[in-house]
Structure 1
Amino acid sequence: MMDMVLDFGKIIIADLILSGDNALIIGMAAAGLAPELRKKAILYGMIIAAVLRIVFAVAATKLLGIPGILFVGSLLLFWVCWRLYQEIREGMDAQAEQSLLDANNPDAGYTGAPRRTLFAALISITIADVSMSLDNVLAVAAIADGNTEMLVFGLGLAIVLMAFAATLIMHLLTKFPWISWLGLIVLVYVAAEMMYRGFFDASTGLGPMLGLIDGWSLSKGH
């Protein structure tokens, strides 16, 4: 029971800090548009991010059971941790908060005649969202470890936070930077645990697959 509570806590923290990238990209793209196009850009951008998360979540549940994939996923998650570390040092949360405020303020950001189409902005958002949605789903799927309810909870929470509380979250992370550092520690722990299971697990580990070790049963038993 305690393990499940801790896992849900990890998912909440991961969703909170990984929502910053999406907020920054959507906010910047929208703020660069003429004011009359911004609300559509924010709405469609969030829909695109939500759809990508669902697609990647379905794929992740299938792929993480393939031998060796968990280890590769841990390397990707460590890369996410490194990128997040750089963003925290550069104050990316404050930039994301300001970009969203600009996008929702018709007198801020670009206020001239339309110089960029909504479609062009959405292309930029989609390209960036591919990487960011994958980051989020990878972290949540690693924590859930086959628990469908937990995966759905993490996916749903990420979408809700992004749709209804992005500016509030960015303000919270800007005001209390220790939350971002705590989130980074949690993600590093998740990546390390993922790498450990990805190498030593008897059924999906890279070590047993290559014949280096016999391996152990390391599933969380969800």
Structure 2
Amino acid sequence: MLDLASPTFWIAVLQIIAIDILLGGDNAVVIALACRKLPDAQRKKGIFWGVIGAIGLRVVLIYFALQLLAVPYLKIVGGLLLFWIGIKLVIPENDEGHGNVATSATLAGAIKTIIVADAVMSVDNVIAVAAASHGSILLVVFGIAVSVPIVVWGSKLVLLLMDRYPVVITAGGGLLGWIGGGMLLTDPTIPASWREIVPYSTYLVSALGALLVVLAGKALASRQHAGHPSGELTTASGRELMEGKPK
């Protein structure tokens, strides 16, 4: 258990909040889509209970992820997955994945849609948060509790900022690469003595992981942009929100 008074605890909290904001924007869009057919009087209830259910399910998923990360080689796999998630975050893309989000005219139906959609879309979030939490379920709960209101009620602002300032996306991808790099060295199959051979090896591998994600993401983005000269690709879903178009 991490010490609440230690800088390590609060750095991990900030990492979890950043991950939830960067990877949770799409979830906020899903919430809006799922509730759009509800009467005005029920929309707030649909959002509230849908978010509560989604949070509860996500905490359970992350709890099991924390247990699995103690299995040999899974941290190596998880670290590599974080590299890929970070690269995907850096690469601009047309996001049309929400067009098939089911809507419902009933409160129960909207809540069910939010919970199911959040579970399906949150695999990347679960892996990243589990890696950043250092095995502490307290960190998971605290970080999610702080970040969910930001994602839900501030999602439009967050998405617009990410769309207007691409450096935010790049920094987010670098953060996932940093966490993934550090995760590789903490796998049970890696002898602790290896980390002592090279001074500050954890920081070095973390920095290399962040650099790898950013450079690979930028290289793939350049290749993708060359194949789409019309410039229709966007770095986030913020453009659709700015134009008032449903995703």
| TM-score of the two chains, using structure 1 as the length reference | 0.65
**Aligned residue type for 2:108:** F
Q: Which runs of 5+ in 1 are unaligned?
A: 97-113, 199-203, 209-214
Aligned residues: 187
Displacement, 1:179?
Answer: 1.4
Alpha-carbon RMSD: 3.5
Secondary structure of the structure 2 residue equivalent to 1:182: helix
Distance, in Å, in 2 between the alignment partners of 1:120 and 1:85 is 34
**Aligned residue type for 1:81:** G
Superimposed CA distance per residue, residues 123-179 of structure 1 (whole angstroms, 9 cap, x where no aligned partner): 332222113344323212212212455334323223332354333333433343321
Q: Is the 8 A contact 1:52 1:133 kept in 2?
A: no
Secondary structure of the structure 1 residue equivalent to 2:25: helix
* Residue identity (%): 32
| Alignment equivalent of 1:15, drawn from 15, 20, 36 | 20
Q: Is the 8 A contact 1:53 1:155 kept in 2?
A: no
Q: Which runs of 5+ in 2 are unaligned?
A: 1-5, 196-201, 203-247
Evaluate the alpha carbon distance shift between residue 84 and residue 128 of structure 1 in structure 2; reply closer, same or farther with a 3 A threshold.
farther
Displacement, 1:42?
Answer: 1.7
Evaluate the alpha carbon distance shift between residue 79 and residue 165 of structure 1 in structure 2; reply closer, same or farther with a 3 A threshold.
same
Evaluate the alpha carbon distance shift between residue 80 and residue 117 of structure 1 in structure 2; reply closer, same or farther with a 3 A threshold.
farther
Distance, in Å, in 2 between the alignment partners of 1:50 and 1:140 is 13
| Alignment equivalent of 1:144, drawn from 128, 133, 144 | 133
Which residue number corresponds to residue 60 of structure 2?
55
**Aligned residue type for 2:56:** V
The within-5 A match list for 1:117-196 is 117-196=106-185
Distance, in Å, in 1 between the alignment partners of 2:76 and 2:155 is 31
**Aligned residue type for 1:161:** I
Distance, in Å, in 1 between the alignment partners of 2:143 and 2:185 is 22
**Aligned residue type for 1:56:** L
Q: Is the 8 A contact 1:15 1:157 kept in 2?
A: no
| Alignment equivalent of 1:29, drawn from 26, 34, 47 | 34
- Larger displacement relative to structure 2 (12-21 or 133-142): 133-142
Distance, in Å, in 1 between the alignment partners of 2:81 and 2:171 is 19
| TM-score of the two chains, using structure 2 as the length reference | 0.60
Distance, in Å, in 2 between the alignment partners of 1:53 and 1:45 is 12
Secondary structure of the structure 1 residue equivalent to 2:186: helix
Displacement, 1:37?
Answer: 4.1
**Aligned residue type for 1:53:** R
Which residue number corresponds to residue 111 of structure 1?
none
